[in-house]
A and B are shown apart, each in its own frame.
Chain A
Amino acid sequence: MKDQPSYPKGPITQIYGQAFTLRGDDIDTDRIIPARFLKCISFTSLGDKVFADDRSEMNGHHPFDLNINKGASILVVNDNFGCGSSREHAPQALMRWGIRALIGQSFAEIFYGNCLSLGIPCATASAKTINAIQNHIENDNRHYWTLKIKKKKIFSNDQAWEVDIQQGPLEMLATGKWDAISQLMSNEEDLLKVKNKLPYLNQFKKF
């Protein structure tokens, strides 16, 4: 898709790209991807559908439709982004449109986890910092930005802001272990220990 044909893979240490803003608190996953587009058995065609209803309402003026944002990969949002439904279709749609990192005041928990399991960092910062970053982008969004994961900083061409990335997700991204499946499958012995001691799987015997 656009300038970023490949989806996140391996260790993610930085995201480099054009940034744009989508202002507003409490932007829910029904808005990110309306439910009718969930009628599918694969995620592949979701990229064009991201924010479908908001975009048609704004008739070409939605940030995801503006020419200047084409090819951008960093999205800066406000508070409680991604609230509501657990649909992974929401981050999938954003990713397939081209988004590779989000920065915002806060993210809903399930959405945050879904992004992480796709290798998309959600960095947070105070309302004041977010507003400053958003103003900076909106004043001149031709520049490229870099989100450095370990440094927990986002750099514009002439300035830098500190952001927060929780330690667990940070390590998972930086080491390439954000796709949890192989790690989860490597603890079979410990899993059996737990399974064999759970009362409700063992006739409620006392251990």
Chain B
Amino acid sequence: MWDLHRIAELPGGSTQLFVGLHLIHEVTSPQAFFALKEKGLRVRCPEQTVATVDHIVPTTSQDRPFADPLAEEMLCTLEENCEIHNIKFYGLKSGNQGIVHVIAPELGLTQPGMTVVCGDSHTSTHGAFGAIAFGIGTSQVRDVLASQSLTMNKLKVRRIWVNNTLKKGVYAKDLILHIIHTLGVKAGVGYAYEFAGPAIASLSMEERMTICNMAIEAGARCGYINPDEVTFKYLENRLHAPKERNWTQAISWWKTISSDEKAIFDDEVDFDASKIPPTVTWGITPGQGIGIDEKLPDPESLSPSEKTIAQEAYNYMGLTPGGTILDLPIDVCFIGSCTNGRLNDLKIAASIAKGRHVAKGIKAFVVPGSENVAKAAEDEGLVEIFKNAGFEWRKPGCSMCLAMNPDRLEGRQISASSSNRNFKGRQGSATGRTLLMSPAMVTAAAITGRVTDVRTLQ
């Protein structure tokens, strides 16, 4: 697949790689378009470029102009750039707007065998389809706009083989949090993480996307899963998926791109899915996770490099070694993001929320990943379940995953969040605290007001 996209070998050993799909959004593209304008360049392949707006959109009212003039300016700039350069733009109320990593798969833009890039680190998500997909910076966005290619070094591959299947109440999010905790947040630097094995094969496409989405939190720029019948079934009849005769031909090509049984990997690691409990982060990196029944680690028992950041995490989070994460009171519950804002995530959350109510004093809100997810959730009655249970139902966007819109933590609030990063200040307050967990666990926390083992509610 790499060879198929290779344009040239560049001095110093990097490869000039052709980009099959370039996704752009309002945050990391304006400076790139400005650079094109300065150099008098045009977009090389507008037909391989697709835009949407997600990071800065408010989730209460999306009427224009936005209350925040900076957000409005960013959206106007994107609209203008797409118009000038003839780029397909899925804007607000188009029916197809949403978080870039939710809409590209659901519209059938992301396909096996492609190279997919976007100025966003969670582009690793698209590897779930058997694509080479990775995040890039703004200078590279400019390069891709101008040349439909970029320079890239070939990555090593670590195969993560997961045996058995996940137990009831344990989800793809728990699996990936467990993997990141076990391997660490920097073990993936220089690697693509290929996920395989019976547990991965049994996951839906949405669950596979959750896994690949967070490969970057393990340091790996790409996540990857071989395409199979699950992949093909997901893509069939989607807006941009191949149709009719092309569909048949596409499948026969896609079947040839799987890494074969005899492939040799640079590294291999095994996990047993059946042994993984619901997993929650307690610290300030996605690697600081524990099983819901475990005790918080003693920094003295950790390696020197983990020890320092564990101590920093204890100071920041106000937790004590040896304590538990179970029953920790929380303030805010956020269900959404490119990790867990898809229909299946909302179905699971709704199944737990049904007939129950958000605990007093807890702010709980659901942000669908896209306009299509929102519509499907409405059609399936999920919205009504959430509203009856006391959740706020919002409009699609990235929202409080990174708080570039009005949704944010205040002061030292603690959130139970289905998103992907628990860095200091990530959710909009410099002292705010984030606990990452599955949408099911977030819902359970919303109901009880504390970190709760969702299995006790199922």
Residues of A within 8 A of B (CB): 24-26, 28, 30-31, 34-36, 38-43, 53-54, 56-57, 79-80, 83-89, 91, 106-110, 113-114, 117-118, 127, 167-172, 175, 177, 179-181, 183-185, 187, 190-191, 193-195, 197-201, 203-206
Contact = CB atoms under 8 A, between A and B. Distances in A.
Interface in B294-353: 305, 308-309, 312
A194 B41 CA distance: 22
Contacts of A83: 185-186, 219
Q: Which 9 A-B pairs have the closest CB atoms?
A: A168-B12, A114-B137, A117-B139, A204-B249, A88-B137, A171-B12, A41-B30, A86-B135, A88-B138
Contacts of A197: 4
Given A57-B430, A87-B137, A180-B151, A26 B285 contact: yes
Interface residues of B, number: 81
B411 to A, nearest CB: 13
A185 B146 contact: yes
Given A25-B308, A86-B136, A200-B114, A169 B12 contact: yes
27 contacts: A31-B425, A38-B55, A39-B56, A39-B71, A80-B186, A80-B189, A88-B31, A88-B137, A106-B189, A110-B136, A110-B137, A168-B153, A170-B12, A171-B12, A181-B39, A181-B147, A184-B151, A185-B41, A185-B147, A191-B148, A194-B6, A199-B249, A200-B20, A201-B20, A203-B246, A204-B242, A205-B249
A88 B246 contact: no
A190 B73 CA distance: 38
A175 B12 CA distance: 11
Contacts of A181: 39, 142-143, 146-147
A26 B310 CA distance: 11
Contacts of B13: 167-168
B1 to A, nearest CB: 10
B11 A177 contact: yes
B10 A183 contact: yes
B421 interface: yes
B425 A191 contact: no
Interface of B: 4-8, 10-14, 16, 18, 20, 27-28, 30-31, 34, 39, 41, 45, 48, 55-56, 68, 70-71, 73-74, 77, 111, 113-114, 119-121, 123, 134-140, 142-143, 146-151, 153, 185-186, 189-190, 216, 219, 221, 242, 246, 249-250, 252-253, 285, 305, 308-309, 312, 402-404, 421, 423-426, 428, 430
A84 B285 CA distance: 9
B16 A187 contact: yes
Contacts, number: 214
Contacts of A113: 136-137, 140
B407 to A, nearest CB: 12
B287 to A, nearest CB: 8
A129 to B, nearest CB: 15
Contacts of A54: 424
Contacts of B71: 39
Given A168-B13, A169-B12, A199-B250, 20 more contacts: A30-B425, A79-B186, A83-B185, A83-B219, A106-B189, A108-B189, A109-B221, A179-B139, A180-B139, A181-B39, A181-B142, A184-B150, A185-B146, A191-B18, A191-B148, A194-B5, A194-B18, A200-B113, A204-B242, A205-B249
